[in-house]
């Protein structure tokens, strides 16, 4: 069975603070893919990043960065200098061979206060 | 703007009504999905179409009936819904079916907010 855990249900920060969203996953497969999605109040899930299990390089895209560590089964997401527009629910998700569908974490509600 | 278009954005219907949700994408994706999302919860997969054939039905009640007329369109026909069916219904598409270790990201529409009276 596979599982994604986002232990932080809600996080609130003040604008310009850095914030890290945690994601821990479980799978018995050696090949798998991890995703992050952002869901603003409008409802659409916006695809942010995909990472495969063989690539542990960290990735940076503007104010966003991702830290993938197989040793701890974690794929954490950091927003630097947060902005009010970053307020949304963020979902981590896993795709691996033993499951026919994408497995989502429970999501983290991020609120950035002005 | 999202590349997956869903209509209508909002729908209010009585329990005896029949209505349909529509989803359209023109990205050449061959897999399309319906999800149901309740407030403060992650999306729950309902159906998957792969190459216009139903690939996954997650034991969804028969009052929800999916249809994939062609590779760009996906419908969800609704009949005799219950109040607990009120939710955000999301459509998504991907180049190929995600899951089973596939790496294709799914692209989502804005969703239809459905309220059952």
Q: Could you tell me if A107 and A6 are in contact, meaning their C-beta atoms sit under 8 angstroms apart? A: yes
B96 touches chain A (CB under 8 A): no
B49 touches chain A (CB under 8 A): no
Q: Average pLDDT of chain B?
A: 92
Residues of A within 8 A of B113 (CB-CB) are: 43
Q: What is the C-alpha separation between A88 and A40, in angstroms, rounded?
A: 4
A48 touches chain B (CB under 8 A): no
What is the pLDDT confidence band of residue B1, given thresholds at 50, 70 and 90? low
B43 touches chain A (CB under 8 A): yes
Residue with the larger pLDDT of the pair A70 and B96: A70
Reduced to 3 states, what is the DSSP secondary structure of residue B86?
coil
Q: Measured between CA atoms, how close is A38 to chain B, in angstroms?
A: 11
Short-list B57, B97, B50, B38, CA closest to B74? B50
Looking at residues A36-62, what average pLDDT do you find? 91
Mind listing the pLDDT tens digit for each residue in B22-78? Answer: 999 999 999 999 999 999 899 999 999 999 999 989 999 999 999 999 989 999 999
Percent of chain B whose predicted confidence (pLDDT) is above 90: 79
Looking at residues A57-65, what average pLDDT do you find? 90
């Amino acid at each position: 069975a596979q599982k994604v855990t986002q232990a932080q249900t809600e996080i609130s920060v003040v604008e310009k603070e850095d914030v890290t969203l945690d994601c821990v996953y479980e799978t018995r497969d050696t090949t798998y893919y991890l995703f992050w999605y952002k869901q603003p109040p409008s409802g659409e899930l916006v695809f942010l990043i995909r990472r495969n299990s063989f690539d542990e390089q960290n990735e940076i895209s503007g104010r966003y960065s991702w830290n993938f560590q197989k040793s701890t089964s974690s794929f954490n997401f950091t927003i630097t200098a947060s902005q009010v527009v970053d307020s949304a629910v963020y979902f981590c998700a896993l795709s691996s061979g033993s499951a026919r569908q994408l497995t989502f974490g429970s999501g983290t509600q991020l609120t950035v206060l002005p | 703007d999202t590349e997956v278009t869903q209509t209508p954005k909002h729908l209010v219907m009585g329990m005896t009504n029949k209505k349909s949700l529509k989803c359209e994408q023109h990205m050449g994706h061959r897999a399309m999905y319906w999800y149901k999302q309740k407030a403060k919860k992650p999306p729950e997969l309902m159906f998957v179409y792969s190459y216009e054939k139903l690939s996954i039905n997650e034991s969804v009640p028969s009052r929800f009936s999916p249809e994939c007329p062609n590779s760009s369109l996906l419908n969800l026909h609704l009949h005799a819904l219950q109040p607990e069916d009120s939710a955000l219904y999301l459509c998504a598409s991907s180049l190929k079916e995600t899951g089973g270790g596939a790496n294709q990201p799914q692209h989502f529409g804005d969703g239809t907010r459905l309220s059952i009276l």
